[in-house]
Amino acid sequence: MAMNALALIVALFAPAHPALKPSIQYTLRVDSTDLSGWTVEIRLRTVSDTFRLAVAAHPEYDDRYWRYVRNVAVEPSGTVTRVDSAVWHFSAPEGWVTVRYRVALPPPEPGLRAAWRPYLTPTGGLIGGPHAFMYLLGEEQMPVAVILELPRSWDVSTGLRDAFRAPDQGRLQRANQRIWGYAAVDAASLMDSPILVGQLRQWRFVEGGVPHRVVYWPLPNAASFDTTAFVSGIQAVVHQTIALFGGASYKAYTFLFQDGAYGALEHPSSVTLGAPSADLARDPHAALAETAHEFFHTWNLMTIRPVEYRDIDYRTQPPVTSLWFSEGLTMFYADLLMRRAGIQPSDATRTAHLERLMSRYVANPAYGRFSAEAVSRVAYNADPGSLGDYSASTHLQGELIGTMLDLTIRNNTDGQRSMDDVMRLLFNQRRAIDGHVIEQTVEAVCGCDVTPFFDAHVRGAAPLDFNRYLGLIGLTAHVTTGPAVFNGEPERDLRIWGWEPQGERGVRLVISDPSSAWGRAGLHSRDQLVALNGAAVATWPGLRAKLQSLHLGDTVRVQVRRPSGPFEATVVVAGFERPAVRIERLPNATVAQRRLAEAAIF
Ligand SMILES: [Zn+2]
């Protein structure tokens, strides 16, 4: 059915759509003859002669796309003033006004692209979200309409609601463009719904009575892969996740997979994921662990939200203390739900998985020095080196804490309950979480006192005593220490890395363990690198290449600058010791303990 753009706008505002009463309408236009960016037009009705628009900051990945906004203008004639890096102030006569601007995309990153960042190619791209749309400050709750004007051969997939009742009405044509209409209930939903466009492959399935779409954007030279196995693996994980929570937290869900990209970002009703077709050709489940992780975040982060999370804001997200739970338990379930779905993750068994995590934990002194909450607070939006000469992963620390709590609950309830019940209770209560809410919920499920545990490991920095918890299910861990080995060769101590801070020239160092050769030589995180063996090094790839070329026994002079003045360290490249954890069954394990272990898939 053909309609013109005016009829589309009338349809969007028509009373037949009681859910849609937008007084903000966005039009995003992509012109196939100029893929350097897109133009946005915001039509809104004002009740004052001034208003402000802002670029939202994502709580995890603030890409600061206000840097790429160009040619901001308002009609009828008014003035535009940038009052903050991310905020524009407008003055224009009250009533209907139109704001126009262009987003000029930055040059592509070298290598694989980050799957959550926008891009445009002749066969499609990723648009929308805070990379495209500004929001009206003070009117964040207002529903919005979104019109996309895209090259005619392109398809669209997004978590935004289709603004038309029949799917074939969503395709209006004008010249070489096709016009699509969408709606969002508020500004936060608009920002949290990226839009994948172009030549897309799509599949559908229903789980929990809710429609799910799997969408794949292939590169023109994409490798072919087993799409039946790819989609059925995702469906199996979706089935297990909905079974765990007892229901979906959304009305429809879209997986937005992209070829030639890495990484992923969760949203309330969609997820962007990098899944190179060459990887999927080798293994159709290559992206499944990451998919399971991001999908689990739909509940554990997007719905069971940290108390510090805000709806929408242009300012950087303040530190969050419970990411050890939001990230760590999401890691825990990505592995567990794949096994429940009958698909083996990268570790052959759950025991091997736990051995690998524990080996990393005992090898890193940070976990005996920083509480889970302290590590959480620097997990997002903090510069590298925020823990001084230590590095820690809130994902790893949180997954191990979650595993030990799960064993505690299973033991205290004779296997009747587990962390599954904690997740379900938190989801049903829809409470914003912090350490105390999590602690109370664990206690409610377990019928036990976990305050000493939370004092020691969540609020405090005592390292986990694994055997105390493994013993509850008849297992024990042995730690052996030996020379670190990589690919059968003695491993060099290269426990140093660097980064290039924004607005600063050169590289700052990060020491990830003060007992490394680099830490012992007197180097510290945040030292500004000047030269290695007298040769200037100005970039992290430059430093990495020099580190990789070192041999055991080489001597390196590292010249740095720090507030107290210049410093030179001499480091002899050597091997180092690394602990390894092996888990065994206790010879005197009881039948009851063995049953608990089996239920936890150990
Ligand atoms: Zn995550």
The 10s digit of each residue's pLDDT in 513-528 is 999 999 999 999 999 9
User: If we measure between CA atoms, which residue out of 433, 436, 443, 440 comes closest to residue 458?
Assistant: 436
Q: In degrees, to the nearest 5, what angle opens at C-alpha 470 toward C-alphas 447 and 396?
A: 90
Reduce the DSSP state of residue 575 to 3 states and report it: coil
CA–centroid distance, 385 to ligand 1, in Å, is 21
CA–centroid distance, 327 to ligand 1, in Å, is 5
Task: For residues 559 and 554, give the distance between their C-alpha atoms in angstroms, rounded to a whole number.
Answer: 16
Reduce the DSSP state of residue 428 to 3 states and report it: helix
Share of the chain above pLDDT 70, in %: 94
Q: Is the CB of residue 26 less than 8 Å from the CB of residue 42? A: yes
Task: Write down the H helix ranges in 138-274.
Answer: 187-191, 227-245
Task: For residues 145 and 149, give the distance between their C-alpha atoms in angstroms, rounded to a whole number.
Answer: 13
Average pLDDT of the segment spanning 277-294 = 98
131 DSSP assignment: G
Question: Is the bond leading into 268 cis (omega within 30 degrees of zero)?
Answer: no
Token couple for 596? 């608990």
CA–centroid distance, 324 to ligand 1, in Å, is 10
First and final CA of the chain: distance in angstroms?
Answer: 58
Reduce the DSSP state of residue 570 to 3 states and report it: strand
CA–centroid distance, 599 to ligand 1, in Å, is 25
Token couple for 492? 């060099």
CA–centroid distance, 553 to ligand 1, in Å, is 39
419 DSSP assignment: H
Share of the chain above pLDDT 90, in %: 89
CA–centroid distance, 242 to ligand 1, in Å, is 18
Tokens 């020099």: give the residue: 546
Task: For residues 193 and 163, give the distance between their C-alpha atoms in angstroms, rounded to a whole number.
Answer: 14
The 10s digit of each residue's pLDDT in 311-325 is 899 999 999 999 999
Cβ neighbours of 348 (radius 10 Å): 9
Q: Is the CB of residue 216 less than 8 Å from the CB of residue 201? A: yes
CA–centroid distance, 89 to ligand 1, in Å, is 35
Reduce the DSSP state of residue 340 to 3 states and report it: helix
CA–centroid distance, 169 to ligand 1, in Å, is 37
Q: Is the CB of residue 575 less than 8 Å from the CB of residue 491? A: yes
Q: Are strands 144-151 and 24-31 parallel, antiparallel or unpaired?
A: parallel
CA–centroid distance, 571 to ligand 1, in Å, is 36
Q: Which range is least confidently modeled, 111-115, 348-352, 414-418?
A: 111-115
Model pTM?
Answer: 0.93
> Cα 447 to chain center, whole Å?
33
User: If we measure between CA atoms, which residue out of 548, 570, 575 comes closest to residue 558?
Assistant: 570
Looking at per-residue pLDDT, the higher value among 421 and 382 belongs to: 421
Task: For residues 70 and 104, give the distance between their C-alpha atoms in angstroms, rounded to a whole number.
Answer: 7
Token couple for 202? 């799509």
Task: For residues 44 and 22, give the distance between their C-alpha atoms in angstroms, rounded to a whole number.
Answer: 9
The 10s digit of each residue's pLDDT in 73-106 is 999 989 999 999 999 999 999 999 999 999 999 9
CA–centroid distance, 323 to ligand 1, in Å, is 9
CA–centroid distance, 432 to ligand 1, in Å, is 17
CA–centroid distance, 395 to ligand 1, in Å, is 8
Amino acid code (one letter) for 576? F
The 10s digit of each residue's pLDDT in 545-597 is 999 999 999 999 999 999 999 999 999 999 999 999 999 999 999 999 999 99
